[in-house]
Structures are given as structure tokens and as C-alpha cells.
Structure 1
């Protein structure tokens, strides 16, 4: 017997419909913002030869059969980033995409295997410009939904208040009592044993086997993220270079990179960069990421050689990806991401 609370039953749909209509209004309002700021809406294809080259991003694959009957493995993209950067290399200067992306091994109150991402780029501008875009969009979403605060499971954030801004190093010191700089050298190379020792010193459990990246993520998720975006929005800035594979390094400190994440109510809403355009450095970082993916998961994804060829043509660019469904979820005070999806993917919570 199927569950009695299927999304398509009239009574359940009637309860869901106000949030879905709010979703449409928020989408229209954000498209209006992008049009007002002269962004060109583009429509990248979902199928790619490479879905992305970050260790912990997992893709869905398929086989494309040519007219000759020969098959080629393609992937549903985890982000439209690679396609959009090629458009920037081609000469576009201010572009945006609002469309579906796919990530495997992800399903929870905040994750869905197919979701909607709003991604945009500003050529010739620093990443402070896309941070400002993000903050404006949060205000627009709240205004459109007719609320004064974003909410999620009892937590609130005022998008109209001035956002707080921390570097990752400051946040680790404030919320975990750990000095991350003591676990890196002047070039940003990391020391896993030093971070393990710092964690033990503040009473955090360290597993028998670990890497610096794994320990970093543990502290971020368990100690830092729950404190972000409470009362007002938080911009978490200047990530360690080792955790910013697609961002250029900060000019004033080689240990950190121009990467930020945006939080409200303890929920990550956006991830953005001052984009890396050095193809050799990008190839090196992608290779390291795929080596680690092979070690952890026994698989890798191919590098996008067209992207690597295109990067030097981009010039200075800032870009960001925002989880549109999560933003709607916070604007309408939904308890899970499926509550704001017109049609959830089969499986998972009903």
C-alpha cells in the first residue's frame, strides 16, 4: 500500500499549494532583479562530459548512443558552472541561469537529488559584487513572501539587517576555539596532525584515520555552521585555499582564497568565488580532487578540457550559486525542501 500522504492527493496538494505559489512569485521577483541589473539569462544543457571535479560531489551518469551505435558516458551536471564559464570566455559579461541540477548521494530535509540552482557571473567585477547581489535577493524573497524574517525550524534571520561577516579562520576561533592558521604553512599547505591536535585540545573526537579536509569539514559542520545566520545573515568569507578548488587565492594572504558562503538560520544558501582563471593551477586542483575522490569513493570524473582551454579567456570574474529551493523554504518557513518542490523526486520523505 502506498503512503496515504502522497503529494498528489488533493488534500495534501491543497496544503502545499500556498508555498508553491510563493515559489513562483519569488522566482519572478528574482528574474526581475536580474533583468534590472542587465543579466542575460542563459540555458546550459544538463548533459556534460564532466559533471564537476570536486571530491564530495556525486553525479548521475547515463550513456548517450550515437548514430553508429557507439555509447559515450555523459553526466547530469552538478552545476551549470563549466558551461557558463565557456560563455564568459566567448565574450559574455553578465550572465545568469535558473535551472535544474542533479547531485547523487544527497537526500535530507535540506537536500534533494534534483533541485533548482540560481547561478550568475559578473565579468570584470570582484566577488563583493555578487555578495551584494545575494543579500539583495534574500531581501527580495522575504518581501515577496510578505515576511520580515527568514525562518527554519525555530531559527530566524533578518535579511533586512546588516549582515555579519567572518573569515573562516575567525569563525573557527570564535565557535570552535581552533586557530586554523596554526595548521597551515605560508603557502596554504595543510597539516592534518596539527588540526587533529587542535581538535583534541578543545575536546573534539578525532577518528583513527583522517585527512585535514575531513577534519576541517567535521569542525565546520558540527561547531561553526549551527551558529551562522542566527538573527541576521552571515557571510562566511576567505576559505582556506585547500577548500576552494575553483577560487583564486587572496592577494594579501596566499593561505586563503576568495570564496564565501552565505548562511541564514544555520542553512547554507549560496557559495561564491572570485573565479580562478589560471588553467594550469585549475588542472592541478582538479587532479588533486579526483585523486582524493578515487581514494575515498573508488571513482573519478573526467576533466573538461574545453573548460581548461577557455579559462584564460575569461579575465577577472566573480560568480555564485544560490540554492533557490532553500531560499524559498526559508521565506515560507517550510520544514523541508520537498515542501517547496512542485513535484518531488520519487522516494525519500513524503
Structure 2
């Protein structure tokens, strides 16, 4: 049974299946060792954020695993498994650290597919006092390092190929929507970046896309991105998709000179999103407003909301200007080994 088969007939722990999977798992180890050495060579301090958090994050479509922390008095306090080490790492920046990174397991609910797993490995790092172009360059360098670690010449996924050593494509979100979907995204945003769902819906109808009833601008934006734009990204070479609308970047600072856009980017190869990074927002009042709006929308759509991390908001007042990025380590291993499902690169996949 090949490790590339979509659904092995036997469990992963069957000796014959493990024997097929083992070369990929050893390659994963080589990539991890290379990443850790690369970070050390650039003076990144590897930190170890906790897996339990009071708040799992305050983004509308982020779904956490909830649990309880029971004290000596037997009283339970709601807690969540970490969806990202971001809040903890930004507190460390506020404490005085300058270059930090983590490579750890994180957990996200409602996510399982060829590219998604409820428990996965995230590589996240921050550069204090450096522009977000610096972490974009980091992402490209790490993609190339992964390819070098396995000796693969080109990434491939579902019939698409990408040369990680070629000069990356740099494409703004507004430009990408116009080029690949025929949508004028700025026409659905006012001068302050406030989105107009009806205006975006009208454009969707104009290009022959179905528009669901009672859906927000954010949902429509994501629908166009996934259906029309993402399949065109990272084909032949890596694509850096940047300058996201501010409405889609709750943790990023606004782009200087244009309040409609933000310092957010995503890195794509073979149509696969590998990384998501920001020029980080450090204004606690603005961050609180954005989180509140995200949780109001989460309540409307899913009937739940997560608490705010008040320590995180307090720490933002002390945090220096910084840039940071989260990279899906398992996806990077997939592309560097030719695996077609995320389970193929995990030592022990979570049971269905």
C-alpha cells in the first residue's frame, strides 16, 4: 500500500503500511532539522508556548476545541486548546524578545480534508522592528530549504506544479481578483475599508457566480477567492498574495497611504496556501474593536463567541513594531515529498 493512496486499506500502525509511510516520515525529520538550523543561524530563539489558552483567538471562522481546567477547589475554568501560539508569542515580544519562533502542535475544529487535520504542526515566527517583506523572504527561503532537504526539483499537487527556486510572483489581492475573477474589489469598499456585501454580490452575479442569501461580504470574498483565485496561484512558481483588504486582516496593520488595505500576505504553491503573515497591529484599542466585531459575526453565524485575552490586549501597548507569519509545516512537507494527503506526512493521524 503506497503512502500516496488516498485511503489506505489498513490502519497506519499496520507494519506494511508504516513501512510504506516511513520514507516520507524520515524526510519530514530532515526538513524539521533543516528548519531548526536555519532559524538558529539567523538568531531566532525557539520558544515553547502552552497548549492551553484562555482565548483561542477571535476570528469569525476559527473553531477551537474547548476543555476545562479544574482547580484544587474542584471548580472548572473554561479553557481551549491552542489554535495558534500568536497571542503568547506577541506577549514575549512585549516582554523584550526580538526574534522568536515556535514549531508546535495546534488544534482546530471543523477542519478535515486532504489539506486540513484537526491537530497539525504550525511553524510561527516573528521579527521585531523589521518589515513584513522580511518574513515574506523567510517563507520563500524555507520553501526552497524543504525542496533541497528532499532533493525534489518541483512541488506537485493534484496536477499542478511549482518551481520553488524560480523568482516568486508578487500579486496584490485587488489585482488578483481583477485578473482571475473579473471582480473590482475596491468598488465594494469605501474609503475607510468598510465593505459593502451588496456591491460585491452584484459583481458576483455579473460574472455568473451564484450568490447565497444573507451572506456577509467576508463570506462572498472567501467564496470568490477559493473558487476563482486560489486555483491560479503558485502555478509554475510561488505566488505571494499580499495587500489584503483591511476587513480580512483582523490582526494586521493598515497599509500606509491606503486605509482600505492591510499588510497581510499569503504564500501559495500549486494552489496550496502555505503561510499567512502580517505587519502586526499594535494598537490595543483598534485590536479590541476588531475582535468585538469578529465575535459579533461569529455569534450571528455560529451562535457562539470566544472570550478576549485581556492580557494580550494589555501587552499590545508594550509590543514593538513587528512582522510575523504562520506556516503550515505539514503542508510544506507534503509539497516537498509529493504526498497528496496530509495524513501521509503525519506520524500518527488523529482517528476519524
TM-score by length of 1: 0.98
Q: Please state if 1:42 is matched with 2:53.
A: no
Q: Which residue of 1 aligns with 2:127?
A: 122
Partner residue, 1:139: 144
Structure 1 position 231, deviation (Å): 0.5
Query: Is 2:172 aligned against 1:155?
Result: no
Question: How many Å apart are 1:8 and its aligned residue?
Answer: 0.4
State the distance in 1 between where 2:87 and 2:215 align.
31
Other-structure match for 2:215: 210
- Residues 255-270 of structure 1 correspond to what in structure 2 (within 5 A)? 255-270=260-275
1: CA distance, partners of 2:84 / 2:278: 14
Aligned match of 1:305 = 310
Partner of 1:93 in structure 2? 98
Matched, 1:337 2:342: yes
Match of 2:332 in 1: 327
Structure 1, unmatched stretches of 5+, are: none
For residues 210 and 64 of structure 2, the distance between their equivalents in structure 1, rounded to whole angstroms, comes to 31
Which residue of 1 is the match for residue 174 of structure 2? Answer: 169
Counterparts of 1:226 and 1:40, CA distance in 2: 36
* Post-superposition offset of 1:12: 0.4
The superposition leaves residues 211-257 of structure 1 with CA deviations (integer Å, 9 ceiling, x where unpaired) of 11110010000000000000000000000000000000001211000
Q: 1:318 pairs with 310, 323, 334, which one? A: 323
Give the Cα separation in 1 of the matches to 2:170 and 2:101: 25
- 1:274 aligned onto 2:287: no
> Cα distance, 1:18 vs. partner?
0.5
Matched, 1:110 2:115: yes
1:4 offset after TM fit, Å? Answer: 4.3
Q: CA deviation at 1:154?
A: 1.8
Secondary structure of 2:330's counterpart equals helix
Gaps of 5+ in 2: 1-7
SS at match of 2:94: helix
Correspondence 1:201 to 2:206:
yes
1:48 offset after TM fit, Å? 0.3
In structure 2, what is the Cα distance between the partners aligned to 1:192 and 1:224? 19
SS at match of 1:107: coil
Q: Secondary structure, in 3 states, of the residue corresponding to 2:230?
A: helix
Compute the displacement of 1:5 (Å).
Answer: 1.2
Query: Aligned-pair distance for 1:340?
Result: 0.1
- Three-state SS of the structure 2 residue aligned to 1:134 is helix
Please list, as runs of the form range in 1=range in 2, the aligned pairs for 1:168-187 lying within 5 A after superposition.
168-187=173-192
Distance 1:244 1:161 in 2: 28
Deviation at 1:270, TM superposition (A): 0.1
CA–CA distance in 2 between the matches of 1:248 and 1:38? 25
Residue 208 of structure 1 deviates from its aligned partner by 2.1
Give, in angstroms, the shift of residue 269 of structure 1.
Answer: 0.3
Matched residue, 1:252:
257
d(CA) in 2 for partners of 1:101, 1:208: 33
Q: Does 1:17 align with 2:25?
A: no
- Return the alpha-carbon distance in structure 2 between the equivalents of residues 52 and 210 of structure 1: 22
SS of structure 1 residue aligned to 2:317: helix
Partner of 2:38: 33
Q: Kindly tell me the number of residue pairs found equivalent between the two proteins.
A: 345
| 1:117 counterpart SS class | strand
Cα RMSD after superposing both structures: 0.7
